[in-house]
């Protein structure tokens, strides 16, 4: 798929200040409102195998993206779904030039992910990333950064909270429960995007819970680009199928491990 805004692509050799500055420019360009180009209700698993809805529009293509690692190389995996059907899987192995630094994840994994996305024959209507979108110090997490570069609607699904504060305690909640993640002092207001105590950056969302002991932590869902926080949770809910992680992410995760085996000596 094509990079509509390549000027935001993470380049190697930037200073920390330059990376943070680029993130602010990304956040200014990001749209945290619905501009999907498709009906969110048409995104679901268990959609009939036919590729067309009653209205004549195509069922949206949803891509799940995840990484695995081999020494100092990243393996980025992308799985594209139409309903519950896998229509394409691609992966790329890329040298890493940065360590993991909280807040700068897109500079470590962004390049590898773009390499994988470039191999796609199908153009996804929605990108689902493993990590944060707007829930980020400069409101430009991985999902936002890559969503803006591709100018495709995107969502961030993280397994832990980078910053911000949940409205309510998140422990032991039932499936389907969700509560806003509000901006706090760690979050900067950027461009037209405020970061007051009322600003909803995303949601904690309980996708799965068991009747028994081990309490499952919620997911932290946030808008990447061209989607509202409320819609992002709705979409992730629609993409959930019996497991904690939404299906696109779960399949990309499994594919990243599967493909990794082919490169291990």
Annotated binding-site members for Mg(2+): 66, 130
Tell me if 160 contacts DNA by CB under 7 A. yes
CB 163 to DNA: min, Å: 6
CB nearer to DNA: give 56 or 102: 102
DSSP H or E segment with residue 21: helix 16-29
d(CA 32, CA 153): 10
Asked if residue 2 lies in contact with residue 124, where contact means CB atoms within 8 angstroms, the answer is no
Residue from 106, 154, 206, 207 touching DNA (CB under 7 A): that is 106
- Per the DSSP assignment, residues forming a β-bridge with 178 are 205
In terms of C-beta density within 10 A (0-12 exposed, 13-18 middle, 19 or more buried), how is residue 169 classed?
A: exposed
Distances (CA, A) of 51 to 56, 98, 258: 9, 41, 28
Residue from 102, 169, 174, 242 touching DNA (CB under 7 A): that is 102
**Going residue by residue from 26 to 65, which x/- string records binding to DNA, judged by CB under 7 A?**
----------------------------------------
Q: How many residues bind DNA (CB under 7 A)?
A: 29
Residue from 8, 22, 47, 67 touching DNA (CB under 7 A): that is 67
Residues in 207-236 that interact with DNA by CB under 7 A: 211-212
CB nearer to DNA: give 3 or 165: 165
Annotated binding site: 66, 130
d(CA 250, CA 113): 16
Tell me if 187 contacts DNA by CB under 7 A. no
Tell me if 10 contacts DNA by CB under 7 A. no
Residue from 40, 83, 124, 131 touching DNA (CB under 7 A): that is 131
CB 248 to DNA: min, Å: 14
Place of tokens 């949940």: 166
Residue from 52, 58, 100, 215 touching DNA (CB under 7 A): that is 100
Tell me if 159 contacts DNA by CB under 7 A. yes
d(CA 30, CA 27): 5
d(CA 162, CA 129): 15
In terms of C-beta density within 10 A (0-12 exposed, 13-18 middle, 19 or more buried), how is residue 226 classed?
A: buried
Asked if residue 253 lies in contact with residue 159, where contact means CB atoms within 8 angstroms, the answer is no
CB nearer to DNA: give 74 or 235: 74
Tell me if 243 contacts DNA by CB under 7 A. no
Among residues 7, 44, 62, the alpha carbon closest in space to that of 224 is found at 62
The residues that touch DNA, with contacts defined as CB under 7 A, are 66-69, 100, 102-106, 130-132, 136, 141-143, 156, 158-163, 211-212, 256-257, 260
């Amino acid at each position: 798929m094509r990079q509509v805004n390549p000027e935001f692509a993470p380049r190697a050799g930037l200073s920390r200040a330059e990376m943070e500055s680029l993130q602010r420019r990304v956040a200014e360009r990001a749209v945290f409102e619905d501009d999907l180009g498709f009906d969110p209700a048409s995104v679901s698993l268990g959609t009939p195998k036919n590729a067309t809805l009653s209205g004549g529009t195509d069922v949206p293509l949803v891509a799940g993206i995840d990484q695995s690692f081999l020494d100092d190389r990243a393996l980025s995996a992308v799985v594209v779904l139409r309903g519950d059907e896998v229509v394409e899987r691609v992966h790329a192995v890329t040298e890493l030039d940065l360590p993991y630094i909280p807040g700068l994840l897109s500079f470590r994994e962004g390049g590898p992910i773009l390499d994988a996305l470039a191999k796609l024959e199908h153009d996804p209507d929605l990108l689902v990333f493993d990590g944060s979108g707007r829930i980020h110090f400069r409101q430009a997490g991985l999902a936002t950064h890559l969503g803006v570069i591709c100018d495709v609607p995107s969502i961030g699904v993280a397994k832990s909270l980078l910053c911000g504060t949940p409205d309510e305690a998140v422990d032991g909640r039932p499936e389907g429960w969700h509560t806003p993640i509000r901006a706090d002092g760690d979050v900067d207001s950027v461009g037209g995007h405020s970061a007051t105590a009322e600003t909803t950056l995303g949601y904690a969302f309980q996708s799965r819970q068991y009747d028994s002991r081990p309490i499952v932590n919620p997911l932290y869902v946030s808008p990447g680009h061209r989607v509202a926080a409320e819609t992002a949770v709705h979409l992730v809910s629609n993409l959930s199928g019996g497991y904690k992680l939404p299906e696109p992410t779960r399949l990309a995760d499994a594919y990243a491990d599967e493909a990794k085996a082919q490169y291990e000596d």
